[in-house]
Structure 1
Amino acid sequence: VVGPRAEFDSQVVDVAWFGTDKSTLLVQTAYGTLYRSTDHGEQWGKLTPHLEELAKGGAPETPTGTLPKAGGREKLRISRMVRSKAAPDTVVAFATSGAAAGFVSENAGLDWTRLNVEYRLRSWGFHREKPTWALTSYWNENCGRLAADRTGDCTHDLYVTKDLGKSFELISRRVVQYSWGPQEYGQHDIVYVSRFKQSLSGRQPKLTRWMTGVNFERTDDFGRSFKTLVVDGNKFQISHGYILVVQVQNMQLQNISLLVSSDGAVGFQEAQLPHRIKHRSYTLIDTSEGAILLHVNTGGALGDVYASDARGVSYSLSLQNNVRKRGLCAFEKVMNLKGIYIANVADVPSRAGGTQPPDPKPSAPDASEGPGREGEAEGTQDEMRTVRWRRLGEDALADRTGDGHGGSAEGEAVLARADHEARA
């Protein structure tokens, strides 16, 4: 079945479907224009002029009609859409230019409200159960200004809203990353952050290299108090009950280790890989099968994939020479087929990471990993995750690294040292 042809002003970069029958669509283009259809894409209305008037204080009627011809851009440009899992018809749209920082709709894009914030938002994380709650961050008003015009330090600040953008409450300044707590342990309202020490002053640096003075912490009361969980814990990822934290061991040598918790951050243990090699960064590939699949970057364009036990602590080598490029690794999980993965590997001689003898005495976890660690899990080892690979034809896989679809894109943004929260 071939539907009617729709002409947009540029390449489509995001599509969102709404409703039980998926008849309502929102489309975002590369030019930052937002379109809406309520009939499965038969006809389209252009939302950007409506949002532009809303940003200026006007409130024209909701736009309807057919898609206008491709052509002139609007001054307002939408950069990203984020949907709520707690309320599927609720969506937030970020603006990178124009008179507003963003907009929110609670009825699949029919009506919009301007977010009550004047600075460009860097990110937005909806609460999993409370539709009007969200975490958001932005670089404050002192960023981008000349030194003579600044009234304070340039910092990346984290806020919480409990009324869908009508008001915001500061949680912390100098934040690198943040996340709601894992739902597997009932930590829905707990906020985890990695952040620079609050005693520091001056312009907050971007985390372009592993640094001391950035700690992994949690707050149970939205910033009124914090508990340090991992000293020098620069980056972290929360997925399917696992919490992974990159800890800096030596800033000058850029030595790092990976700490893992599978009990809601009660305790952390150092990931035990079979080879003693220098790690540059980690990519969390998958945790949905009751274990962790991890891509370890030791430098260069290749890395190795390791599979863990159920605790996420002990690892075995699964796949060598996995291709990586521009922050993504060529590794995909096949949707709706449990336990099936596709990966690109380079045909090169065995690398050092896969041929070094096993380390007979893996390093013990650092004593500063956090309180309540339960030693070596009663002295027993869970059965290792076994991943078997079958070679496909040379032309069976195209190199998809760098195209924005890599299954590890989110994990790499979290566990690589380059800070994805770039300044506006």
Structure 2
Amino acid sequence: MGVKGWLLLLCTAIYVAECDDTVGEPVLENKVHSHIDLPLPDDHDVGHRREGNVFPESTSVPPQGSAVFNGQTEGSGGGRKVSVTEISFDSAIDDLVWCGNDHSIVLLKTQNGRLYRSVDGGKQWTEITHLFQGSSRSESYRVDSIVLSEADKNVVVIIGEGKHHYVSGNAAKSFVPLGYDASINMYLFHPSRPSWALLSSWEGSCFTADNDEDCVHSIFVTRDMGRTFSRVSKYVAQFSWGDMKAKSEDRIYFSKYSLESGDQPKQDGWNNNINFLYTDDFGSNQNIIMEGGNKFLVSGNYVFVAKVSDSVKQTVNLYVSTDNAKTFRRAVLPVELEERSYTILDTSEGAVVIHVGHDYEGGEVEVGNVYISDASGLRYSLSLPNNIRSASGECEFDKVYSLEGVYIANFRDDSGGVLNPRNKFKTHIDGTKSQIDEKRHRHVAHNKVEPLIRSVVSFNKGAEWHYLQPPKVDSEGKPYDCEEGKCFLHLHGITQYKNFAPFYSVENATGLVLATGNVGDRLRFDASQVNTFLSRDGGLTWTEAHKGAFIYEFGDYGGLIVMAEDQRKTKEVVFSWNEGASWFDFNLSKHDLSVNNIVIEPKCSSLNFILYGNRNGVGVAFHLDFSALGQPVCKGMWNADSTSSDYETWRPTDPHGNKCLLGRKLVYKRRKQASECFNGKEFKAAVDREVCVCTPDDYECEIGFTRAVGSNICRIDGTWLMKEGCTSSSIFWTEAYRKIPGDVCTAGWYPPPVAVPCPPHSPLSKGSKMVITTILVLSFIMMAIVYISNNDKLKHVFHNYGFKQFSYVAYAPVNSKRQAQRGGSFGGRFEPELGFIDAEQEQDEPTLLNYLNGSRAAGASQSGTKPEPQQIELL
């Protein structure tokens, strides 16, 4: 699967956007070459361009019903070959889907709605559009989309642009008509039963004025592989199957309008009249779970629902269930900001990571806060503020899929440009209106100030973040020219995928990450400043793989990397079989093309790639077979690290040098970088696990506390939840740390409680109220006395009682210094010292106390005795 093929799977969003009658409404949803260090034996000019006019310059559309096969090229050099086969299609390539038990069958759809099939991984193609409605009508039939069952990769549904649709149970070898003869908006297979599916359709007068029926969005269910369908419900906004992990996969969740009459309203915002329901009997009984529940996501043991809070302000609250939607509780966030949208980023390893959009107004880029939950999925602490997002909910936040608990993200750094690890996170979000460039070759103007976007990495599931360390030198061996303290690596994320390939990893390529970006003080959007980078250790350290922005793909479980430029037309492919230690290149053909993507079968285990793009308006695909290089299969997995083995052991490490991640020490076996061999199809990555002793890295901040980038100390962010009975002159004891969900460490360091000053807006204590009342009364009495003593009619009263001199008394502020009896007498004017700053702390000033050194003394929790507190900084 290619980089851009993964992009639609990276972020699952609860989001509301406009949608027309034909499009489903959104659901809640997860060149200068570098040096060549290891030349190929015999010949490193791997791919010679073919001589003669083998690749015709003609841009004509291929004959109807068949692809154009222009032959096969083999660049030879002493027996070293990369086999290249070029195929042209009727129009640009729109989609590629791998199907079949071994992923050897590929389906390809073009923008003209033609469908092609390959049985050899994309080397040879046959158009199969004529299978639909018979060859006599193949010209008029257009394919809209290909839907594959995850439960059985042989079951495929072809959705047509009109009313005719087809299903296959043998990986598209043959088809039968689907038993539904109307336009299909969405087709959703059951997660474990390939013959079950849900489909949605806009019915009635949605597409024609001749129909008197109401225009409504309905869902239907089939349990016989599409032969028959029955209606589940009408006026539906969103629908989904349950989840296998929760053993509720046969349940149907959906949200629908409460008023079932007239045309269904177009959902262009959060709506109080939409409710969240479920059915366990395919619609016979529909049970309301939550009124006002507009959008939802079912993920593992969690059910998330966005419930309308204020339809006028367009705000919502997030509710979470962990018991199959029997009970829901509102998610607790540490900030009092309006919640407008959610993106569920991750629900693995026992915790929930969400992105919350708080506002939409102002700013240069769209941002939101990333929060991470405790084990219950209900209490969320701030992990990363100002995370970059797109207007449609995709977030520049991604897992390193081959490692546990490792994230890479981009955020708008509001520290003002100074990279100081003690800078605090700002929790207030200046809402934004995204102006993301949708043109592939458009560059940022040189006179435009680019937003301060920076990249960070976390090795403990978002509990702690670090700026990316840049390579020491670039791919040409030259040091980077950037200011010390502002020299970091910054990578492009998913919101810029039409311009630059985002950071990319796959589960089967251990520790490997590819990305495009730049070294400097911030992320740059000028293509001339963007290069391609590679990490072999999960994002800890990086090397510049190539100058320029490339599109890329992994093969052979990470043993092979294939790239091509995608910022300009090219005919060149570069590849590395030693994880970037050296790069080799060859030409695809004599003629340049615009490369759209490089893709591979879903497991990334093959040596066969498909590179596709456009040339003069015609879709072109190249099948690249690297098995022709003749490399042997790697040996010695059982005795890794020995000189006779092609494998080594590798231990992931965080920026502190800690080899324990999420409480476990992981030891992977992977191919040595210098080994000239391929892992092969049968390769299985081996990993050993060892439980570690707990350290502060195994803990994240509790609600109300945050860590600055580069720091592992949790400090108050000013938004903590006030304890009951807290008064402005007192403190309360609380936990600043909590164990990261999914962390398995034992014993070792345990976070002590911290003493926190009650917020200034807290109620006054009884003692404080008495003191203030006494001061006010005394002040009033003194003012009355002074007034009376200076009144000509009343001052004789004071004279009679010995208070004659009282009228000459002057008053100064408490703790102020007299200026050497300036004026010479009590009757002189008092002039306080201007600009006086006391270097000592006021005795009654709030002090934040914490215990950060050492572990809790034995028995402290039982006796209540607290060790000598140490002062820490209050942000």
Q: Could you say whether these structures have the same fold, taking a TM-score greater than 0.5 normalized by the shorter chain as the test?
A: yes
| 1:219 pairs with 2:284 | no
- Identify the residue that residue 406 of structure 2 maps to in structure 1: 340
Per-residue CA distance 1:65-115 (angstroms, 9 max, x = gap)? xxxxxxxxx432222222112222101121124xx4321111111001121
Question: Which whole-Å CA distance do the structure 1 matches of 2:144 and 2:182 have between them?
Answer: 14
1:294 aligns with 2:354: yes
- CA distance 1:188–1:89, shift in 2 (3 Å): same
Match 2:113 to one of 32, 39, 42: 32
Residue 244 (str. 1) matches residue 244 (str. 2): no
Helix, strand or coil for the counterpart of 1:5?
strand
Of the candidates 93, 108, 121, which is equivalent to residue 158 of structure 2?
Answer: 93
Matched, 1:112 2:188: no
Q: Aligned to 2:218, what secondary structure does the other structure show? A: strand
Q: C-alpha distance in 2, partners of 1:337/1:31?
A: 40
| Cross-structure match for 1:184 | 245
> Paired residue for 2:254?
193
Amino acid in structure 2 at the alignment position of 1:313: L
Q: Is the 8 A contact 1:160 1:222 kept in 2?
A: yes
Q: 1:307 aligns with which of 372, 393, 399?
A: 372
- Cα distance in 2 for partners of 1:95, 1:180 equals 23
CA distance in 1 between partners of 2:214 and 2:136 (Å): 28
Relative to structure 2, which stretch is displaced further, 323-332 or 389-398? 389-398
Q: Which residue of 1 aligns with 2:192?
A: 129
Equivalent pair of 1:334/1:342 in contact (CA under 8 Å): yes
Cα distance change, pair 289–176 in 1 and its aligned pair in 2 (3 A)? same
231-240 vs 111-120, which moves further: 111-120
* Residue in 1 that maps onto 2:535: none
Could you say which residue in structure 2 is the equivalent of 1:265?
A: 325
Q: Note the C-alpha offset of 1:20.
A: 4.1
8 Å CA contact 1:78–1:95 kept in 2: the answer is yes
Query: Residue deviations 1:181-217, cap 9 Å, x none?
Result: 12223212211110111x4311111211100111000
1:255 corresponds to which of 299, 311, 315: 315
**SS of residue in 2 equivalent to 1:49:** helix
The structure-2 alpha-carbon separation of the partners of 1:139 and 1:406, relative to structure 1 and needing over 3 Å to count, comes to farther
Structure 2 partner of 1:279: 339
What is the CA–CA distance in structure 1 between the aligned matches of 2:83 and 2:396, rounded to whole Å? Answer: 32
* Structure 1 residue 325, shift from structure 2 partner: 1.7
CA RMSD of aligned residues (A): 2.6
SS in 2 for 1:176: strand
* Conserved? CA contact 1:275–1:353, under 8 Å: no
C-alpha deviation, 1:234, in angstroms = 0.3
* 1:70 alignment partner in structure 2: none
Distance 2:373 2:188 in 1: 28
Kindly state the Cα deviation for residue 263 of structure 1 after the two structures are TM-superposed.
1.1
- Per-residue deviation, 1:17: 1.9
Cα deviation for residue 52 of structure 1 reads 4.6
* 1:54/1:208 CA distance change after superposition, 3 Å: farther
In structure 2, the residue corresponding to 1:401 is in which secondary structure? helix
Is the alpha carbon distance of 1:304 and 1:334 closer, same or farther for their aligned partners in structure 2, counting shifts above 3 Å? Answer: same
**1:123 to partner: Cα distance:** 1.0
Q: Is 2:451 the partner of 1:388?
A: no
Partner of 1:15: 96
Other-structure match for 1:374: none
CA distance in 2, matches of 1:233, 1:191: 15
Structure 1 residue 355 corresponds to structure 2 residue 427: yes
* Contact 2:467–2:489 (CA under 8 A) maintained in structure 1: no
**Which deviations, in whole Å up to 9, do the C-alpha atoms of 1:199-244 show, x marking residues without a partner?**
4311111211100111000111111111111110000001111100
| Residue 165 of structure 1: aligned partner | 226
Aligned partner of 1:49 in structure 2 is 130
The question of whether the paired residues in 2 share the 8 Å contact of 1:308 and 1:385 is answered with no
Letter in 1 for 2:233: S
Q: Which residue of 2 aligns with 1:150?
A: 211
* 2:86 equivalent in structure 1: 5
Conserved in 1, the CA contact under 8 Å of 2:191 and 2:243? Answer: no
C-alpha separation in 2, matches of 1:150 and 1:19: 42
What is the one-letter code of the residue matched to 2:194? P
SS at match of 1:137: strand
The Cα offsets for residues 104-138 of structure 1, whole Å up to 9 and x where unpaired, read as 11111100112122221111111122221111110
Q: What is the match of residue 295 of structure 2?
A: 235
Q: Specify the code of the residue in structure 2 equivalent to 1:229.
A: I
**Structure-2 residue corresponding to 1:141:** 204
**Are the equivalent residues in 1 in contact too, given 2:339–2:357 (CA < 8 A)?**
yes
On the 8 A contact 2:115/2:143 being kept in 1, the answer is yes
CA contact (8 A) 1:211 1:248 kept: yes
Give the alignment's TM-score, normalised by structure 1: 0.78
Partner of 1:397: 491
Offset of residue 251 of structure 1: 1.4
Give the CA deviation at 1:37: 0.5
Distance change in 2, residues 1:25/1:385 (3 Å): closer
Measure the CA separation in 1 of the matches of 2:235 and 2:260.
9
Which structure's CA Rg is the greater one? Answer: 2
Cα separation, partners in 2 of 1:343 and 1:186, compared to 1, 3 Å: same
1:207 paired with 2:283, answer no
The 1:290/1:55 distance shift into structure 2, 3 A limit, reads farther
For 1:163 and 1:20, locate their aligned partners in 2 and report how far apart those are by CA, in whole Å: 21
Aligned residue for 2:131, secondary structure, equals: helix
Cα distance in 2, alignment partners of residues 37 and 355 from structure 1: 52
Alignment check: 8 A CA contact 1:175 1:196 kept: yes
Offset of residue 396 of structure 1: 4.2
CA distance in 2, matches of 1:34, 1:402: 29
Unaligned runs of 5+ in 1: 59-73, 357-383, 408-424
Q: Structure 1 pair 330/156, CA: closer, same or farther in 2 (3 Å)?
A: same
One-letter identity of the residue aligned with 1:114: P
Q: What's the offset of the Cα at 1:173?
A: 0.2
Quick one: which amino acid aligns to residue 205 of structure 2?
N
Question: Per-residue deviation at 1:280?
Answer: 1.2
In 2, Cα distance between equivalents of 1:95 and 1:317? 45
Looking at structure 2, the residues matched to 326 and 5 of structure 1 have their Cα atoms a distance apart, in angstroms, of 38
Cα distance in 2 for residues equivalent to 1:322 and 1:208: 25
Aligned to 1:375: none
CA deviation map 1:379-423 (0-9, x unaligned): xxxxx965322222566412431648989xxxxxxxxxxxxxxxx
What secondary structure does 1:282 align onto? strand
Mapped to 1, the partners of 2:136 and 2:387 lie a distance apart of 47
Q: Contact between 2:400 and 2:408, CA under 8 Å: does it hold in 1?
A: yes
Displacement after TM superposition at 1:343 (Å): 1.6
User: Contact 2:385 / 2:426 at 8 angstroms: preserved in 1?
Assistant: yes
| TM-score with structure 2 setting the length | 0.39
Query: What residue identity is the alignment partner of 1:246?
Result: A
Q: Percent identity?
A: 37
Is contact 1:326-1:402 (8 Å) kept?
no
Shift of 1:143: 0.6
Per the alignment, do residues 349 and 37 of structure 1 end up closer, same or farther by CA in structure 2, a change over 3 Å counting? same
CA separation of 1:335 and 1:13: change in aligned 2, threshold 3 A: farther
SS at structure 1 position matched to 2:87:
coil
Specify whether residues 45 and 385 from structure 1 end up closer, same or farther in structure 2 by C-alpha distance, changes over 3 A only. closer
* Partner Cα distance (2:128, 2:496) in 1: 30
